[in-house]
Structure 1
Protein backbone atom coordinates (compact mmCIF):
# COMPACT_ATOMS: atom_id res chain seq x y z
CA UNK A 1 0.00 0.00 0.00
CA UNK A 2 1.13 3.53 -0.80
CA UNK A 3 0.84 6.38 1.66
CA UNK A 4 0.70 10.16 1.56
CA UNK A 5 2.07 12.50 4.21
CA UNK A 6 0.48 15.94 4.36
CA UNK A 7 3.50 18.19 4.85
CA UNK A 8 2.55 21.36 2.95
CA UNK A 9 0.92 23.35 5.75
CA UNK A 10 2.20 26.64 7.15
CA UNK A 11 2.43 25.28 10.69
CA UNK A 12 1.43 28.61 12.22
CA UNK A 13 0.82 27.02 15.63
CA UNK A 14 4.47 25.94 15.74
CA UNK A 15 5.93 29.42 15.49
CA UNK A 16 8.66 30.57 15.90
CA UNK A 17 10.14 27.36 14.40
CA UNK A 18 7.96 27.57 11.29
CA UNK A 19 8.99 31.15 10.55
CA UNK A 20 12.17 29.67 9.02
CA UNK A 21 11.40 25.96 8.57
CA UNK A 22 8.54 23.65 7.50
CA UNK A 23 6.66 21.96 10.36
CA UNK A 24 7.60 18.59 8.85
CA UNK A 25 11.18 19.18 9.98
CA UNK A 26 10.28 20.12 13.56
CA UNK A 27 12.51 17.88 15.71
CA UNK A 28 11.28 15.59 18.48
CA UNK A 29 14.30 14.46 20.47
CA UNK A 30 16.48 15.49 17.55
CA UNK A 31 14.55 13.55 14.89
CA UNK A 32 12.24 15.48 12.52
CA UNK A 33 8.54 14.63 12.37
CA UNK A 34 8.87 13.71 8.70
CA UNK A 35 11.59 11.16 9.42
CA UNK A 36 9.66 9.71 12.36
CA UNK A 37 6.55 9.14 10.25
CA UNK A 38 8.46 7.71 7.30
CA UNK A 39 10.07 5.22 9.69
CA UNK A 40 6.69 4.53 11.30
CA UNK A 41 5.06 3.75 7.95
CA UNK A 42 8.08 1.67 6.88
CA UNK A 43 7.67 -0.45 10.01
CA UNK A 44 4.32 -1.64 8.60
CA UNK A 45 5.76 -2.46 5.18
CA UNK A 46 4.88 0.77 3.38
CA UNK A 47 7.74 1.57 1.01
CA UNK A 48 6.21 4.15 -1.35
CA UNK A 49 5.15 7.53 0.02
CA UNK A 50 3.93 10.76 -1.53
CA UNK A 51 4.90 13.93 0.37
CA UNK A 52 3.16 17.17 -0.52
CA UNK A 53 5.14 20.38 -0.09
CA UNK A 54 4.58 24.13 -0.08
CA UNK A 55 5.96 25.99 2.97
CA UNK A 56 9.79 25.92 2.74
CA UNK A 57 9.38 23.11 0.21
CA UNK A 58 13.05 23.10 -0.77
CA UNK A 59 14.08 22.28 2.81
CA UNK A 60 11.91 19.15 2.75
CA UNK A 61 13.17 18.09 -0.69
CA UNK A 62 16.78 18.65 0.35
CA UNK A 63 16.29 16.74 3.60
CA UNK A 64 14.90 13.73 1.74
CA UNK A 65 17.69 13.84 -0.85
CA UNK A 66 20.36 14.09 1.84
CA UNK A 67 18.96 10.95 3.48
CA UNK A 68 18.45 8.99 0.24
CA UNK A 69 14.68 8.98 0.87
CA UNK A 70 15.33 6.72 3.87
CA UNK A 71 15.67 3.74 1.58
CA UNK A 72 12.20 3.86 0.06
CA UNK A 73 10.45 5.45 -2.93
CA UNK A 74 9.28 8.99 -2.19
CA UNK A 75 7.36 11.17 -4.63
CA UNK A 76 7.03 14.93 -4.20
CA UNK A 77 3.64 16.53 -4.86
CA UNK A 78 4.59 20.19 -5.25
CA UNK A 79 1.82 22.65 -4.40
CA UNK A 80 3.73 25.85 -5.05
CA UNK A 81 2.66 28.61 -5.59
CA UNK A 82 -0.56 27.95 -3.60
CA UNK A 83 -1.11 25.59 -0.68
CA UNK A 84 -4.16 23.48 -1.53
CA UNK A 85 -5.31 22.24 1.91
CA UNK A 86 -6.24 18.58 2.41
CA UNK A 87 -8.78 18.17 -0.37
CA UNK A 88 -6.88 20.08 -3.01
CA UNK A 89 -3.69 18.36 -1.93
CA UNK A 90 -5.24 14.95 -2.46
CA UNK A 91 -6.60 15.86 -5.89
CA UNK A 92 -3.21 17.27 -6.90
CA UNK A 93 -1.61 13.93 -6.04
CA UNK A 94 -4.33 11.58 -7.31
CA UNK A 95 -2.26 10.35 -10.27
CA UNK A 96 -0.03 8.50 -7.79
CA UNK A 97 -2.86 6.27 -6.53
CA UNK A 98 -4.58 3.41 -8.32
CA UNK A 99 -5.53 1.31 -5.28
CA UNK A 100 -6.34 1.85 -1.60
CA UNK A 101 -3.90 4.23 0.07
CA UNK A 102 -3.21 5.74 3.48
CA UNK A 103 -3.07 9.46 4.23
CA UNK A 104 -1.54 10.96 7.36
CA UNK A 105 -0.81 14.41 8.73
CA UNK A 106 2.94 14.76 9.16
CA UNK A 107 2.56 16.36 12.59
CA UNK A 108 0.75 13.35 14.11
CA UNK A 109 2.74 10.89 16.21
CA UNK A 110 0.94 7.69 17.13
CA UNK A 111 1.23 3.98 17.89
CA UNK A 112 -1.85 3.11 15.79
CA UNK A 113 -1.48 -0.41 14.36
CA UNK A 114 -1.60 0.24 10.63
CA UNK A 115 -2.03 -3.47 9.84
CA UNK A 116 -5.24 -3.66 11.90
CA UNK A 117 -6.43 -0.38 10.41
CA UNK A 118 -5.97 -1.63 6.83
CA UNK A 119 -7.66 -4.95 7.64
CA UNK A 120 -10.76 -3.23 9.02
CA UNK A 121 -10.95 -0.86 6.05
CA UNK A 122 -10.72 -3.61 3.45
CA UNK A 123 -12.96 -6.13 5.21
CA UNK A 124 -15.72 -3.53 5.40
CA UNK A 125 -15.20 -2.34 1.83
CA UNK A 126 -15.43 1.29 2.93
CA UNK A 127 -14.85 4.19 0.57
CA UNK A 128 -12.99 5.91 3.41
CA UNK A 129 -12.02 4.79 6.91
CA UNK A 130 -11.03 7.43 9.45
CA UNK A 131 -8.85 6.73 12.47
CA UNK A 132 -10.63 8.20 15.50
CA UNK A 133 -10.30 8.13 19.27
CA UNK A 134 -12.02 9.27 22.44
CA UNK A 135 -10.01 12.34 23.35
CA UNK A 136 -10.42 16.06 23.97
CA UNK A 137 -11.09 18.05 20.81
CA UNK A 138 -13.19 21.05 19.85
CA UNK A 139 -14.37 19.22 16.74
CA UNK A 140 -16.04 15.83 16.96
CA UNK A 141 -17.22 13.23 14.48
CA UNK A 142 -20.34 11.15 15.17
CA UNK A 143 -20.73 7.47 14.31
CA UNK A 144 -23.72 5.12 14.51
CA UNK A 145 -23.73 1.59 15.92
CA UNK A 146 -22.19 0.28 12.67
CA UNK A 147 -19.29 2.80 12.97
CA UNK A 148 -20.61 4.74 9.97
CA UNK A 149 -19.95 8.48 9.91
CA UNK A 150 -23.17 10.42 10.44
CA UNK A 151 -22.18 13.86 11.63
CA UNK A 152 -19.71 16.54 12.66
CA UNK A 153 -19.90 19.23 15.33
CA UNK A 154 -17.80 22.19 16.41
CA UNK A 155 -18.19 22.16 20.18
CA UNK A 156 -17.10 25.79 20.49
CA UNK A 157 -19.68 27.22 18.08
CA UNK A 158 -22.29 24.40 18.14
CA UNK A 159 -22.18 24.34 14.33
CA UNK A 160 -23.08 20.87 13.14
CA UNK A 161 -23.52 18.85 9.96
CA UNK A 162 -25.52 15.64 10.08
CA UNK A 163 -26.77 12.90 7.79
CA UNK A 164 -29.55 11.77 10.15
CA UNK A 165 -32.25 13.56 12.15
CA UNK A 166 -30.47 13.29 15.50
CA UNK A 167 -26.92 12.54 16.62
CA UNK A 168 -28.00 11.82 20.22
CA UNK A 169 -27.41 8.06 19.98
CA UNK A 170 -24.13 8.30 18.11
CA UNK A 171 -20.60 7.82 19.43
CA UNK A 172 -18.68 11.09 19.66
CA UNK A 173 -15.02 10.72 18.67
CA UNK A 174 -12.14 12.92 17.51
CA UNK A 175 -10.42 12.51 14.15
CA UNK A 176 -6.80 11.36 14.42
CA UNK A 177 -5.58 12.84 11.14
CA UNK A 178 -5.16 9.44 9.45
CA UNK A 179 -7.37 8.11 6.64
CA UNK A 180 -7.56 5.04 4.44
CA UNK A 181 -9.04 5.86 1.05
CA UNK A 182 -10.22 4.00 -2.03
CA UNK A 183 -9.15 5.85 -5.20
CA UNK A 184 -12.81 5.81 -6.26
CA UNK A 185 -13.16 8.76 -3.89
CA UNK A 186 -11.78 10.98 -6.64
CA UNK A 187 -14.81 10.15 -8.81
CA UNK A 188 -17.02 11.94 -6.26
CA UNK A 189 -14.92 15.10 -5.91
CA UNK A 190 -16.10 18.06 -7.96
CA UNK A 191 -14.22 20.79 -6.07
CA UNK A 192 -11.06 22.28 -7.50
CA UNK A 193 -8.25 24.39 -6.09
CA UNK A 194 -8.01 24.86 -2.34
CA UNK A 195 -10.54 22.97 -0.17
CA UNK A 196 -10.88 20.66 2.82
CA UNK A 197 -11.41 16.94 2.31
CA UNK A 198 -13.55 16.86 5.46
CA UNK A 199 -16.17 18.95 3.65
CA UNK A 200 -16.26 16.29 0.96
CA UNK A 201 -16.71 13.59 3.59
CA UNK A 202 -19.59 15.53 5.15
CA UNK A 203 -21.45 15.35 1.87
CA UNK A 204 -20.52 11.77 1.01
CA UNK A 205 -21.53 10.37 4.42
CA UNK A 206 -25.13 10.75 3.26
CA UNK A 207 -24.74 8.21 0.47
CA UNK A 208 -21.40 6.37 0.76
CA UNK A 209 -19.70 4.17 3.37
CA UNK A 210 -17.34 6.23 5.49
CA UNK A 211 -16.35 4.35 8.63
CA UNK A 212 -14.52 5.09 11.84
CA UNK A 213 -11.71 2.97 13.26
CA UNK A 214 -11.57 3.56 17.01
CA UNK A 215 -8.07 3.30 18.46
CA UNK A 216 -8.87 4.89 21.82
CA UNK A 217 -6.39 4.04 24.53
CA UNK A 218 -3.40 4.23 22.23
CA UNK A 219 -0.88 7.04 21.83
CA UNK A 220 -1.79 9.99 19.65
CA UNK A 221 -0.06 13.37 19.89
CA UNK A 222 -0.83 16.27 17.57
CA UNK A 223 2.57 17.97 17.48
CA UNK A 224 1.14 21.30 16.47
CA UNK A 225 2.41 23.55 19.25
CA UNK A 226 5.73 23.98 21.06
CA UNK A 227 4.12 22.54 24.21
CA UNK A 228 3.09 19.38 22.34
CA UNK A 229 6.67 18.92 21.14
CA UNK A 230 7.66 18.64 24.81
CA UNK A 231 4.80 16.18 25.38
CA UNK A 232 5.92 14.09 22.41
CA UNK A 233 9.52 14.04 23.66
CA UNK A 234 8.34 12.31 26.83
CA UNK A 235 6.84 9.48 24.77
CA UNK A 236 8.85 9.21 21.55
CA UNK A 237 12.54 8.80 22.34
Structure 2
Protein backbone atom coordinates (compact mmCIF):
# COMPACT_ATOMS: atom_id res chain seq x y z
CA UNK A 1 0.00 0.00 0.00
CA UNK A 2 1.12 3.55 -0.74
CA UNK A 3 1.49 6.49 1.62
CA UNK A 4 2.91 10.02 1.59
CA UNK A 5 4.51 11.85 4.51
CA UNK A 6 4.64 15.64 4.58
CA UNK A 7 8.15 16.41 5.84
CA UNK A 8 8.89 19.64 3.97
CA UNK A 9 7.61 22.17 6.51
CA UNK A 10 9.77 24.96 7.94
CA UNK A 11 8.83 24.19 11.53
CA UNK A 12 8.80 27.85 12.54
CA UNK A 13 6.78 27.19 15.70
CA UNK A 14 9.51 24.85 16.95
CA UNK A 15 12.38 27.32 16.68
CA UNK A 16 15.15 27.28 17.82
CA UNK A 17 14.99 23.45 17.44
CA UNK A 18 14.45 23.83 13.69
CA UNK A 19 17.13 26.47 13.11
CA UNK A 20 19.59 23.71 12.18
CA UNK A 21 17.42 20.70 11.36
CA UNK A 22 14.17 19.88 9.57
CA UNK A 23 11.09 19.64 11.77
CA UNK A 24 10.63 16.01 10.75
CA UNK A 25 13.89 15.06 12.49
CA UNK A 26 13.05 16.70 15.81
CA UNK A 27 13.19 13.85 18.36
CA UNK A 28 10.19 12.73 20.41
CA UNK A 29 11.30 10.68 23.41
CA UNK A 30 14.62 9.98 21.69
CA UNK A 31 13.24 9.05 18.26
CA UNK A 32 12.73 11.51 15.35
CA UNK A 33 9.09 12.12 14.57
CA UNK A 34 9.68 11.05 10.96
CA UNK A 35 10.98 7.68 12.14
CA UNK A 36 7.94 7.20 14.35
CA UNK A 37 5.58 7.92 11.45
CA UNK A 38 7.48 5.65 9.03
CA UNK A 39 7.43 2.76 11.49
CA UNK A 40 3.73 3.24 12.19
CA UNK A 41 3.00 3.22 8.47
CA UNK A 42 5.04 0.05 7.99
CA UNK A 43 3.26 -1.67 10.88
CA UNK A 44 -0.02 -0.77 9.20
CA UNK A 45 0.99 -2.31 5.86
CA UNK A 46 2.25 0.74 3.98
CA UNK A 47 5.58 -0.17 2.40
CA UNK A 48 5.66 2.22 -0.57
CA UNK A 49 6.22 5.65 0.99
CA UNK A 50 6.79 9.06 -0.62
CA UNK A 51 8.35 11.81 1.50
CA UNK A 52 8.48 15.43 0.42
CA UNK A 53 11.43 17.57 1.50
CA UNK A 54 12.39 21.25 1.58
CA UNK A 55 13.85 22.71 4.81
CA UNK A 56 17.24 20.99 5.40
CA UNK A 57 16.07 18.32 2.97
CA UNK A 58 19.56 16.89 2.60
CA UNK A 59 19.48 15.90 6.27
CA UNK A 60 16.33 13.83 5.66
CA UNK A 61 17.94 12.12 2.67
CA UNK A 62 21.04 11.28 4.75
CA UNK A 63 18.90 10.08 7.67
CA UNK A 64 16.95 7.68 5.44
CA UNK A 65 20.15 6.42 3.82
CA UNK A 66 21.80 5.68 7.18
CA UNK A 67 18.73 3.69 8.24
CA UNK A 68 18.36 1.88 4.89
CA UNK A 69 14.93 3.46 4.43
CA UNK A 70 13.73 1.43 7.43
CA UNK A 71 13.17 -1.49 5.09
CA UNK A 72 10.55 0.35 3.03
CA UNK A 73 10.51 1.53 -0.57
CA UNK A 74 10.89 5.28 -0.16
CA UNK A 75 10.64 7.97 -2.83
CA UNK A 76 11.75 11.57 -2.35
CA UNK A 77 9.58 14.33 -3.75
CA UNK A 78 12.06 17.19 -3.82
CA UNK A 79 10.64 20.65 -3.07
CA UNK A 80 13.94 22.27 -2.13
CA UNK A 81 13.52 24.80 -4.96
CA UNK A 82 10.02 25.79 -3.85
CA UNK A 83 7.83 24.78 -0.91
CA UNK A 84 4.47 23.80 -2.39
CA UNK A 85 2.20 23.44 0.67
CA UNK A 86 0.02 20.36 1.17
CA UNK A 87 -2.01 20.39 -2.05
CA UNK A 88 0.88 21.38 -4.27
CA UNK A 89 3.04 18.78 -2.53
CA UNK A 90 0.58 16.01 -3.30
CA UNK A 91 0.27 17.12 -6.93
CA UNK A 92 4.07 17.20 -7.39
CA UNK A 93 4.33 13.69 -5.94
CA UNK A 94 1.68 12.37 -8.35
CA UNK A 95 4.16 10.23 -10.36
CA UNK A 96 4.77 8.18 -7.20
CA UNK A 97 1.14 8.10 -6.04
CA UNK A 98 -0.92 7.67 -9.21
CA UNK A 99 -2.34 4.29 -10.12
CA UNK A 100 -5.24 2.03 -9.22
CA UNK A 101 -5.04 2.13 -5.42
CA UNK A 102 -5.74 4.89 -2.90
CA UNK A 103 -2.85 6.32 -0.91
CA UNK A 104 -2.68 7.57 2.66
CA UNK A 105 -1.29 11.02 3.48
CA UNK A 106 0.21 11.67 6.92
CA UNK A 107 1.76 14.82 8.39
CA UNK A 108 5.21 14.17 9.87
CA UNK A 109 4.28 16.20 12.94
CA UNK A 110 1.18 14.14 13.77
CA UNK A 111 1.58 11.22 16.16
CA UNK A 112 -1.45 9.15 17.10
CA UNK A 113 -2.77 5.76 18.10
CA UNK A 114 -5.21 5.70 15.17
CA UNK A 115 -5.62 2.32 13.48
CA UNK A 116 -4.43 3.33 10.02
CA UNK A 117 -5.25 -0.03 8.48
CA UNK A 118 -8.91 0.26 9.54
CA UNK A 119 -8.99 3.87 8.36
CA UNK A 120 -7.68 2.86 4.94
CA UNK A 121 -10.13 -0.07 4.74
CA UNK A 122 -13.01 2.29 5.54
CA UNK A 123 -12.03 4.45 2.57
CA UNK A 124 -11.89 1.42 0.28
CA UNK A 125 -15.40 0.44 1.34
CA UNK A 126 -16.83 3.93 0.85
CA UNK A 127 -17.70 5.83 -2.32
CA UNK A 128 -15.47 8.73 -1.33
CA UNK A 129 -12.59 10.05 -3.40
CA UNK A 130 -10.98 11.39 -0.22
CA UNK A 131 -11.53 10.51 3.44
CA UNK A 132 -10.31 12.82 6.19
CA UNK A 133 -9.58 11.87 9.79
CA UNK A 134 -11.63 14.27 11.94
CA UNK A 135 -12.65 14.57 15.57
CA UNK A 136 -14.55 16.73 18.05
CA UNK A 137 -11.70 18.92 19.21
CA UNK A 138 -11.51 22.51 20.40
CA UNK A 139 -10.16 24.77 17.67
CA UNK A 140 -11.17 27.92 15.80
CA UNK A 141 -11.43 26.30 12.37
CA UNK A 142 -13.88 23.51 11.61
CA UNK A 143 -14.79 21.37 8.64
CA UNK A 144 -18.55 21.05 8.26
CA UNK A 145 -20.12 17.65 7.55
CA UNK A 146 -23.67 16.39 7.14
CA UNK A 147 -25.06 13.32 8.96
CA UNK A 148 -23.60 11.04 6.28
CA UNK A 149 -20.14 12.57 6.94
CA UNK A 150 -20.02 14.34 3.56
CA UNK A 151 -18.01 17.56 3.51
CA UNK A 152 -19.93 20.75 2.75
CA UNK A 153 -17.84 23.65 4.01
CA UNK A 154 -15.43 25.22 6.47
CA UNK A 155 -15.70 27.97 9.05
CA UNK A 156 -13.28 30.05 11.08
CA UNK A 157 -15.22 30.74 14.28
CA UNK A 158 -12.85 33.55 15.25
CA UNK A 159 -13.26 35.59 12.08
CA UNK A 160 -16.57 34.28 10.76
CA UNK A 161 -14.98 33.43 7.40
CA UNK A 162 -16.62 30.56 5.53
CA UNK A 163 -15.61 28.51 2.50
CA UNK A 164 -16.23 27.65 -0.31
CA UNK A 165 -17.49 30.75 -2.07
CA UNK A 166 -21.28 30.86 -1.96
CA UNK A 167 -21.55 28.48 0.99
CA UNK A 168 -24.05 29.58 3.66
CA UNK A 169 -23.33 28.58 7.25
CA UNK A 170 -26.24 27.82 9.59
CA UNK A 171 -25.62 27.12 13.27
CA UNK A 172 -26.49 23.52 14.18
CA UNK A 173 -26.98 22.36 10.60
CA UNK A 174 -23.62 20.61 10.28
CA UNK A 175 -21.28 18.55 12.42
CA UNK A 176 -18.31 20.81 13.20
CA UNK A 177 -15.17 18.67 13.26
CA UNK A 178 -11.43 19.34 13.32
CA UNK A 179 -9.07 17.85 10.75
CA UNK A 180 -6.46 15.46 12.17
CA UNK A 181 -3.70 15.71 9.54
CA UNK A 182 -4.28 12.19 8.13
CA UNK A 183 -6.31 11.42 5.01
CA UNK A 184 -6.75 8.83 2.26
CA UNK A 185 -7.04 9.89 -1.37
CA UNK A 186 -8.10 7.96 -4.45
CA UNK A 187 -5.92 8.83 -7.49
CA UNK A 188 -9.10 9.60 -9.45
CA UNK A 189 -9.15 12.90 -7.53
CA UNK A 190 -6.04 14.07 -9.38
CA UNK A 191 -7.99 15.08 -12.48
CA UNK A 192 -9.63 17.90 -10.49
CA UNK A 193 -6.12 19.30 -9.92
CA UNK A 194 -5.58 19.75 -13.65
CA UNK A 195 -7.27 23.15 -13.55
CA UNK A 196 -4.97 26.16 -13.74
CA UNK A 197 -6.00 27.41 -10.29
CA UNK A 198 -4.36 24.33 -8.75
CA UNK A 199 -0.86 25.03 -10.02
CA UNK A 200 2.24 25.54 -7.91
CA UNK A 201 1.73 26.21 -4.20
CA UNK A 202 -1.71 25.52 -2.71
CA UNK A 203 -3.24 23.94 0.38
CA UNK A 204 -5.23 20.72 0.18
CA UNK A 205 -8.17 21.90 2.34
CA UNK A 206 -9.28 24.72 -0.03
CA UNK A 207 -8.96 22.19 -2.84
CA UNK A 208 -11.23 19.72 -1.02
CA UNK A 209 -13.73 22.51 -0.38
CA UNK A 210 -13.72 23.46 -4.06
CA UNK A 211 -14.65 19.94 -5.20
CA UNK A 212 -16.83 18.67 -2.35
CA UNK A 213 -20.03 19.58 -4.23
CA UNK A 214 -18.86 17.62 -7.29
CA UNK A 215 -17.55 14.45 -5.64
CA UNK A 216 -17.58 12.66 -2.30
CA UNK A 217 -15.15 14.11 0.24
CA UNK A 218 -15.94 12.42 3.52
CA UNK A 219 -14.96 12.63 7.15
CA UNK A 220 -13.92 9.70 9.33
CA UNK A 221 -14.88 10.83 12.84
CA UNK A 222 -13.03 9.22 15.73
CA UNK A 223 -13.01 9.98 19.44
CA UNK A 224 -11.08 8.70 22.43
CA UNK A 225 -7.72 8.07 20.75
CA UNK A 226 -4.31 9.54 21.52
CA UNK A 227 -3.41 12.26 19.03
CA UNK A 228 -0.65 14.85 19.12
CA UNK A 229 0.09 17.75 16.78
CA UNK A 230 3.75 18.11 17.73
CA UNK A 231 4.40 21.16 15.58
CA UNK A 232 4.53 23.43 18.62
CA UNK A 233 6.58 23.26 21.86
CA UNK A 234 3.73 22.62 24.31
CA UNK A 235 2.31 19.66 22.39
CA UNK A 236 5.81 18.32 21.69
CA UNK A 237 6.35 18.25 25.45
CA UNK A 238 3.07 16.37 25.96
CA UNK A 239 4.03 13.82 23.32
CA UNK A 240 7.48 13.41 24.93
CA UNK A 241 5.87 12.54 28.25
CA UNK A 242 3.39 10.14 26.67
CA UNK A 243 5.95 8.17 24.64
CA UNK A 244 8.46 8.02 27.51
CA UNK A 245 5.79 6.49 29.75
CA UNK A 246 4.42 3.98 27.24
| Change over 3 Å in CA distance of 1:165–1:139 after alignment to 2 | closer
Q: Hey, what does 1:102 align to over in structure 2? A: 104
The match for 2:147 is 145
Aligned residues: 237
CA RMSD of the aligned region, Å?
Answer: 1.2
Structure 1, unmatched stretches of 5+, are none
- Counterpart in 2 of 1:181? 185
Q: CA deviation at 1:73?
A: 0.7
1:5 Cα deviation after fit? 0.2
- Given candidates 108, 119, 122, the residue that maps to 1:120 is 122
Unpaired segments of 5 or more residues in structure 2?
none
| Secondary structure class of the residue paired with 1:60 | helix
Q: CA deviation at 1:236?
A: 1.9
Query: Please, what TM-score do these two structures have when normalized by structure 2?
Result: 0.93
Partner of 2:174: 170
* TM-fit CA distance, 1:214: 0.8
Matching of residues 195-234 of structure 1 within 5 Å = 195-234=202-241
Q: Which residue of 2 aligns with 1:72?
A: 72
Summarize deviations over 1:54-99 as a string: whole Å, max 9, x none: 0000000000000000111111000121100011101110011212
Structure 1 length-normalised TM: 0.97
Q: Deviating runs (4+, > 3 A) in structure 1?
A: 162-167
